[in-house]
Amino acid sequence: MNRAQSPLGQPLDRVDGPLKVRGQARYAAEFDVPGLLYGAVVSSAIARGRVLRIDSAATEALPGVHLVLSHLNRPPIASYDEPYEDADAAEGSPFRPLYNDRVLYSGQPLALVVAETQALARHAASLVHVEYAAESHQTDLQAVREQAHPAPAEVPPPRGDFEVAFNAAAHRVEGEYGTPVEHHNPMEPHASIVQYQPGGELLIHDKTQGVQNCQRYLEQVFGLQDRIRVLSPFVGGAFGSGLRPQYQLPLAVMAALALKASVRVELTRQQMFTFGYRPRSIQQLKLAADGEGRLQAVEHQAIGQTSRFEDFTEHEVEWSGMLYACDHVRLGYRLAPLDVYTPLDMRAPGATIGVYALECAMDELAHEVGIDPLELRLRNYSEINGNQGKRYSSKELRACYRQGAERFGWSRRPAQPRSLREGHELIGMGMATGVWEAMQMPASARACIDADGKLLVTSATADIGTGTYTAMTQIAADAMGLPMADVEFRLGDSSLPQAPLEGGSATVSSVGSAVQRACAGLRQKLLDAAQQSPASPFTGASPDAVEFIGGRMCLKATQHAVELKRIVEVSGALESEAHVEPGEQRQQWATATHSAVFVEVRVDEDLGTVNVSRVVSAIAAGRIVNPKTAGNQIVGGVVWGIGQALQEETLIDHRLGRYMNHNLAEYHIPVNADIPGIEVIFVEEHDSVVNELGSKGVGEIGIVGVAAAVANAIYNATGKRVRDLPITLDKLL
């Protein structure tokens, strides 16, 4: 293999694909454990109050029922009365299942029934009768918006004088934008198997985006240091729902400890609506520009909902202070506590809804000024992050605009709404900018090569469907000059080297950099081993004098080569572990991924139905490790953005404080018939600052800006602005 044939940057198939299509990839609830018992959760029927009585007599009388667990008989828990948190915790007191008789939200777990089969457990749980003392509740953000308090978030301070600049500007627009509650709804429901082992050790299979986060959480809560191992080799989608340990995990541990037996707890689809979600938001935007469309003033104020026991925050308004050049900016972010569960990060948290409002307001400003929306963005282009006052380490957003517009045919867009039609369909075109952080987190990896020349690389990261297995295999194969078939990457085991939560588009930049560094250490050990013999042609050679190609170590000057397995046959297996953290040079720069999204819609003038007919998404995300898996990530994000714009919302009956469409029949998401051809362009972008790989990550950026582009296209088609998502036909009619 020569360097031109390196797997890095190639659109390779997923290495875990064969296991998945053959049904051999095991997910959290699918492991065969001897003597396994099954748990079913009893959920609260009220939104606020107290539990007066739990009548489980009928349940306990059923043959095969082993336990009915509630706050009345749960085992002692080490830190339930003391503060504790997990790696993705919000500020406040985290929810503690079966803590006491208080009911904090509708759907709260009140009891766990453990039986010999799943069917029996669910039937038995339905027989548990709970008596309540209900109290008045509030679940409507709109009703309490005036009582919201400042969010405990790092909102950039104001700069300039917004009021003076806004009032003096030639053009002004202002509007209020609303986004609904959304739930993650991955294909795989949340589940945990707690395998009780002799001596009280627990081997746990859990659906999670961070096995070590779950391990630390359980050790802290139950006081079981060094007795817990968490496994999660495959995850059937998560989108942020697996960042925090969900309540089925501690419930399964409680039951296993109480019974000294192995227990599985799997949530139903309805119960998937009883924990974190994307919060509802109300956002007010004010933009002002001079006669040529240059921004003079920007204000972005947001109100989000949270629970009464935690203040959930996300980066919702910061994007309006960094995406465009403006000297007068005022940002604000408040929270309104409700009788609901705490929200949770959900794909591109904060940016998905914050950039939606900003980019719709920018489209309105373009119409007010009378210039093309793309031209407005180019006139306000900025090479620095205004919130930080730092120049970007790389920013190829101009290329995204140019290449995306050319591929889409943006020059053919009619400036006047309602001026392009075909039969009874109005046709419109819209665009928006996308932005997301380019983060790197501390991470470790271990690389080991054996006498067969096979490389094993390990890290306790996750693969939630993003292609982590494949990307890490490519990075390791490139670093060691090995064919992909000779490299194995293992993840999802809390006993492996430390890794951060898989989220925020930071896995490739974090874990990938650790993998690359571990392989560099292994190359040095191979060279050291080859130099042990005085007669070795590698004696005295520096690392720069050798290269690794096709499973061999080659001396560049003489072309002398030796197979790696020959070195290991003499030295024995060699391994190297590396830990990486963000470099100091990052502190001097702003880092971000960017995109430009172009959308065409067709709106039925009589029925108000909207069909998205074309999408082009141009992405600048540094080095792309695998264009195929990365392209799939962008396509998935675009699909979700279309759903966000047109269909997706969790509906709540505020009289009951309960979600009503808590199933996949009534929670509307796009299907194949809703989705057109989606074209993804990866713009070439080089960045030596973000990390050693130069990769920024693509998991989040794909969804950002899509909903705004759809909304802007609908305006171009119909002349009607709908600022509340989703844009359903009743709002258009």
Q: What's the pLDDT at 79?
A: 74
Rounded mean pLDDT of the chain? 96
Query: For residue range 687-702, what is the model confidence (pLDDT) as tens digits?
Result: 999 999 999 999 999 9
Distance between CA atoms of 417 and 396, rounded to whole angstroms? 30
Per-residue pLDDT, averaged over 553-581, amounts to 94
Distance between CA atoms of 539 and 647, rounded to whole angstroms? 66
Query: For residue range 164-222, what is the model confidence (pLDDT) as tens digits?
Result: 999 999 999 999 999 999 999 999 999 999 999 988 999 999 999 999 999 999 999 99
C-alpha radius of gyration, the chain, whole number: 27
**Per-residue burial over 168-200, b = 16 or more CB atoms within 10 Å of its CB, e = otherwise:** ebebbbeeebebbbbbbbbebbbbbbbbbeeee
Asked whether the predicted pLDDT for residue 1 surpasses 50, the reply is no
What tokens does 546 get? 């050798």
Per-residue pLDDT, averaged over 249-260, amounts to 97
Beta carbons of 51 and 71 less than 8 angstroms apart: yes
Domain with CATH 3.90.1170.50 in the chain: 31-136+187-238+242-273
Q: What's the pLDDT at 566?
A: 94
Query: For residue range 131-158, what is the model confidence (pLDDT) as tens digits?
Result: 999 999 999 999 999 999 999 999 999 9
Tell me how far apart the terminal alpha carbons of the chain are, to the nearest angstrom.
61
Q: What's the pLDDT at 85?
A: 65
Q: What's the pLDDT at 360?
A: 98
Q: What's the pLDDT at 84?
A: 61
Distance between CA atoms of 513 and 449, rounded to whole angstroms? 19
Which one is predicted more confidently, 499 or 532? 499
What tokens does 391 get? 């120049």
Fold of 31-136+187-238+242-273: Aldehyde Oxidoreductase; domain 3 (3.90.1170)
Per-residue pLDDT, averaged over 555-578, amounts to 93
C-beta atoms surrounding 152 within 10 Å: 14
Residues 6 or more apart in contact with residue 36 via CB below 8 angstroms: 193, 262, 263, 264
Per-residue pLDDT, averaged over 504-513, amounts to 96
As a whole-number percent, the residues of the chain with pLDDT over 70 amount to 99
Beta carbons of 196 and 228 less than 8 angstroms apart: no
Burial-class residue 296 by CB neighbours within 10 Å (0-12, 13-18, 19+). buried
Query: For residue range 374-406, what is the model confidence (pLDDT) as tens digits?
Result: 999 999 999 999 999 999 999 999 999 999 999
Query: For residue range 327-368, what is the model confidence (pLDDT) as tens digits?
Result: 999 999 999 999 999 999 999 999 999 999 999 999 999 999
Beta carbons of 715 and 363 less than 8 angstroms apart: yes
Distance between CA atoms of 698 and 347, rounded to whole angstroms? 11
Confidence tier at 4 by pLDDT (50, 70, 90)? low
Q: What's the pLDDT at 92?
A: 87
Domain with CATH 3.30.365.10 in the chain: 281-439+587-732, 441-581
Q: What's the pLDDT at 557?
A: 85
- Spelled out in words, what is the top-level CATH class assigned to the domain 441-581? alpha beta
Query: For residue range 311-334, what is the model confidence (pLDDT) as tens digits?
Result: 999 999 999 999 999 999 999 999
Per-residue pLDDT, averaged over 240-264, amounts to 97
C-beta atoms surrounding 548 within 10 Å: 22
> Tell me, what DSSP letter sits at residue 22?
T
Q: What is the CATH number of domain 281-439+587-732?
A: 3.30.365.10
Distance between CA atoms of 113 and 36, rounded to whole angstroms? 14
Q: What's the pLDDT at 88?
A: 81
Query: For residue range 70-99, what is the model confidence (pLDDT) as tens digits?
Result: 999 998 887 776 656 677 888 888 999 999
Query: For residue range 31-63, what is the model confidence (pLDDT) as tens digits?
Result: 999 999 999 999 999 999 999 999 999 999 999
As a whole-number percent, the residues of the chain with pLDDT over 90 amount to 94
Residues 6 or more apart in contact with residue 7 via CB below 8 angstroms: 473, 474, 477, 478, 484
Catalytic (active-site) positions: 700
Counted residue by residue, the chain has a size of 733
Q: What's the pLDDT at 89?
A: 83
In terms of Cα–Cα distance, which of 279, 295, 302, 311 is closest to 354?
A: 302
pTM of structure: 0.96
